[in-house]
Chain A
């Protein structure tokens, strides 16, 4: 619980999680997780629904507050009341299953909101950045559209552009393709793939096993609030050691 925990993490750790527990009332969802993630590492989290994958992800930017243990992001202890959470969150982009675009704003306004409100950029600069980001996700021509006018895949690409606008060095993806029609999954995965190639530190909660195998540096398998097994995609998918991992993979692969 002490802030001196920082010194015990390895120097290259971007994310350091120790003994993470999270309860909702009497229901303990996370039962002590230990995870170290290095800079530039792409970690995919897989597992059956209800295993605590999303809660784990949400504890990394304190959308859910952990009950016990430490979560240290970029050297900031999220359990420390003196840490400016809004500052830390600008380093962590998050992409949600249901996009959560702001429906009363245009695509461009969605992307420009945070940089302008946080006074990181002037309006003109924010606009230029936003257009560049839109180009990058292939939606330059949708700048003035409203979210309601976009397809699911387009919405998710805008959401990714929006979280990139504050220039984060960590990206969290919470089942980013689960709410999409199958034909739109590819376009979103491509954007994530590109980000991985650029060296972004990423934690990706996903049901896309093929994608995890292709993109991940490391795969974590979670079940019932604990990390059952982790390893490189080749190890975890090719030669799972634990019976629960084997059982899960036999059902989804």
Chain B
């Protein structure tokens, strides 16, 4: 343990020193950087060579990041991967969603974020930005069938939608009083476009390349205004953290711009592609099934682990609840009231984003998810166990004890066999609930079934059909498992 720690410290100090040199040299341009790097015999290439960085990104911000055939692709993805290749470091991409990625960056869950993020003064307070890599702008779009709204002036009295925390939202808010409309904020582009198509909002304000890509994918919208001169996108690290990564990004970006690699990436995504031919429902099914199955696997994994842990917690605290010790009963009551008294979603956010900020210890998304679900389900299990034990006639305990059997033996041989029989249907119910609750973990970027579905419709804009497939998968799996559980229940608890 000690040698390992020491090694880590030395390693960190070395990294830091190199990073500082790199930063200092940055003022003098790249010649300086390469010179500084070259003068460091310990790190042969660059300060970041051989390192692995975790990069957070949006779930779908096509054409900057989206999934194609299950793989993350887009301008941001190509850029960061090419830069990583040039600079000799490795990236692990975490597709978290925009808000979640920023929160993850602040809590040091990720080392950097590239998510089509505009460089703003506000964000500069909490993040360090790279040189701008893309000049964006906000554009307004309406439903394809809408002939009435052709400019901002037609928005009077209407509701428009923008992405939460985005430039589009800022812009919409800046003109909403002048044109007398209301701004509603949603979390991702696909949802916003659906909102407009469904008529809940009359128009959407989004970054022009994203909008252009969506329209190109037959998302059912059309743009009706010119793009507003907007800000520039930058790659961000947490304030004061990973300066060497930022430096490496800038160096790599400049190199890509010099070599023409940068332009070819832009051309690849922004050059008008031919409108994608819409495949039929079964085409969508076969295309999406591999990704959905991967998601389903994670859903079942998280459910299985959570239920097992919840069962242990439930039995433990359930016994506490029926124990004669006031302390144990109090402990169990506090546990139950905390986890039943707060929303699961808040718990998930807390364990994934809040806890790392409090402890300084980062946590991976499966651990955070399972922690959330098992503690939550454990609280309900506690009540199930308590209820089951208490529903057994007290005369049963008295009979056992009057025979000279100990409390434990009486529990084990007399009360529990009867209680388990009473509890089983509730256990099955909780199992199904927990399975469905895994879908909430999509918000912290856990790649389970719902998340995979969101990824798919975010790229192809076929929300209804995709969700239908997702729902059908849940339905089939849950009903199969319920059937199996009931069979087992009948077999063992007759």
Interface residues of A (CB under 8 A from B): 61, 63, 86-90, 92-94, 96, 98, 100-104, 113-114, 117-118, 159, 162-163, 166
CA distance A92 to B401 in the complex (A): 11
Residue among B403, B406, B418 making CB contact with A104, cutoff 8 Å: B418
Classify chain B's interface size. 10 to 19
Q: Which of A94, A104, A163 has the most B CB atoms < 10 Å from its CB?
A: A104
Chain B hits for A96, CB < 8 A: 395, 398-399
Mark B residues whose CB is within 8 Å of A: 393, 395-396, 398-406, 409, 413-414, 417-418, 421
Q: Check B401 against A102 for contact (C-beta < 8 Å).
A: no
Do B401 and A63 touch across chains, with their CB atoms under 8 A apart? Answer: yes
User: What are 7 A-B pairs at a CB distance below 8 A?
Assistant: A86-B406, A100-B399, A102-B396, A102-B399, A114-B405, A117-B413, A163-B403
Complex CA–CA separation, A44 to B409 (angstroms): 32
Among candidates B402, B409, B418, residue contacting A61 with C-beta atoms closer than 8 Å: B402
Give how many A-B residue pairs fall within 8 Å (CB-CB). 58
Separation of A112 and B403 alpha carbons in the complex (Å) = 11
**Residues on the B chain within 8 Å of A100, using CB:** 393, 395-396, 398-399
Contact between chains at A92 and B395 (CB < 8 Å): no
Q: Tell me if B402 and A92 are in contact (CB < 8 A).
A: yes
User: A166 and B404: CB pair below 8 A?
Assistant: yes
CB-defined contacts of A89 to chain B, threshold 8 Å: 401-404
Known A103-B418, A104-B421; judge A117-B395 contact (CB<8 A). no
Q: How far is the CB of B209 from chain A (nearest CB, A)?
A: 68
A98 to chain B: closest residue by CB: B395
Q: A100-B393, A113-B405 are in contact. List 13 more A-B contacts (CB 8 A).
A: A86-B405, A89-B402, A89-B403, A93-B402, A94-B398, A96-B395, A96-B399, A100-B398, A102-B399, A104-B417, A114-B404, A117-B409, A163-B402
Q: Which residues of A contact B403 (CB under 8 A)?
A: 89-90, 113-114, 162-163, 166
> B418, A87: Cβ atoms under 8 Å?
no
How far is the CB of A140 from the nearest CB of chain B, in Å?
Answer: 22
Question: Who on chain B is nearest to A101 by CB?
Answer: B399
Instruction: Known contacts A104-B418, A117-B409, A117-B413; decide if A86 and B404 are in contact (CB<8 Å).
Output: yes
Interface centre among A98, A117, A118, A159 (most CB of B within 10 A): A117
**Alpha-carbon gap, A61 to B413, bound state (A):** 21
Q: How far is the CB of B214 from chain A (nearest CB, A)?
A: 62
Q: Taking the nearest CB of chain B, how far is it from the CB of A152, in angstroms?
A: 15
What separation, in Å, do the CA atoms of A159 and B396 have in the docked complex?
12
